[in-house]
Amino acid sequence: MSTVHKLPTELALNDNVSPKHHHQMSLRRVLSPTFFLGLALLVMFAVYVLLGSYTVTIPDFFTIVINHLTGGEKIPGASFIVMEHKLPRAVVGTMIGIAFGLAGALFQTMLRNPLASPDIIGISYGASAAAVTAIVIFGASGAVVSGAALGGALGVAAIIYAISRGGSGAGGGSRGNAAGNRLILAGVGIAAALHAVVNFLMTRADIRTAADALIWLNGSLNSATWDRAGVLAVSLLVLIPAVIALAGPLRILELGDDAAAGLGIKVNAARLGLVLTAVGLAAVATAAAGPVAFVAFLAGPIARRIVRKPSLPASALTGALIVLLADFFASNIAPVILDGTVLPVGVITGALGAPFLLWLLVTSNRKEA
């Protein structure tokens, strides 16, 4: 009969893991930056729905929602504003923010490049070109435009991925980096070409059609409905489990292709799965609200600075927070400043993204210097 002897270090470790220590560790997890991001999103969601140009008290809000679900008496005016305007808009804004945040974080982490987001590498422009073609040439609207945007995003992503797979490098790690760089460069080139296509189509459209296309191009939550929220929810129920399944391989891919292959990861299959998932997230979000500029680009780096490490949950929460903050400002504060002008949410996120991009480039140059 053998006896298992513990080493002194093991005894010390076991002695240190006391109930109090477990409690402190649990408390530290609960009070993490990601938890506070989630709390901030919850507060912003409440502010978005309850405050603004039309305010609703908390008791009235719960009364409106309960009566809507049970078929009870409606509050004139307030019930319509909350259930048909504010709440679906907030729900859709939250979901597209989550989708864009996850899409940007997946690309940026996989390619190890902060510029690798759907905005920069042409996926959003693919959606835009297809949607504007549907609006200007075929006079489409509503779900048809969303379907065209979805198809355009997926088509451009397939072209970019095919180009990035072309050629071969010398080694696994260098080959992975080269493929990532080719993907970004191919995306930037295709984005420039599609931007020219969009501009050409806009010059050929009449004023009214061009105005409709321009609203879509800027990214707007004006078309948010419960039907659109339902489609988004179903899409996220499919795509988020895929993100969870791919999170482990993604962390290992950060070590490089050679190291990942040595640890048993099928590099090409994992990268293809990540690209398909990220493109799907960006495509459904763009189809729902248009190419809301820079949300996918901003969410990952901001989340990384808050939690001090790459984090998909933090990126998702940050993306949702950016969209809700930007749309609340565009709908309620901008009209006061701009004499009644209501801006699309994409105008605000675009205004935030441009200086952040310049700051990111400056700080990257300082680190390399």
pLDDT value at residue 273: 92
Q: What is the pLDDT averaged over residues 316-343?
A: 92
Model confidence at 234: pLDDT above 80: yes
Q: What is the pLDDT averaged over residues 41-50?
A: 96
Under the banding of pLDDT at 50, 70 and 90, the label for residue 365 is low
pLDDT value at residue 31: 59
**What is the SS3 assignment for the chain?**
CCCCCCCHHHHHHHHHCCHHHHHHHHHHHHCCHHHHHHHHHHHHHHHHHHCCCCCCCHHHHHHHHHHHHHCCCCCCCHHHHHHHHHHHHHHHHHHHHHHHHHHHHHHHHHHCCCCCCCCCCCHHHHHHHHHHHHHHCCCCCCHHHHHHHHHHHHHHHHHHHHHHHCCCCCCHHHHHHHHHHHHHHHHHHHHHHHHHHHHHHHHHCCHHHHHHHHHHHHCCCCCCCHHHHHHHHHHHHHHHHHHHHHHHHHHHHCCCHHHHHHCCCCHHHHHHHHHHHHHHHHHHHHHHHCCCCCHHHHHHHHHHHHHCCCCHHHHHHHHHHHHHHHHHHHHHHHHHHCCCCCCCHHHHHHHHHHHHHHHHHHHHHHHHC
Q: What is the pLDDT averaged over residues 21-44?
A: 76
pTM: 0.87
Per-chain mean pLDDT for the chain: 85
Q: What is the pLDDT averaged over residues 4-8?
A: 43
112 vs 108: which has the higher pLDDT: 108
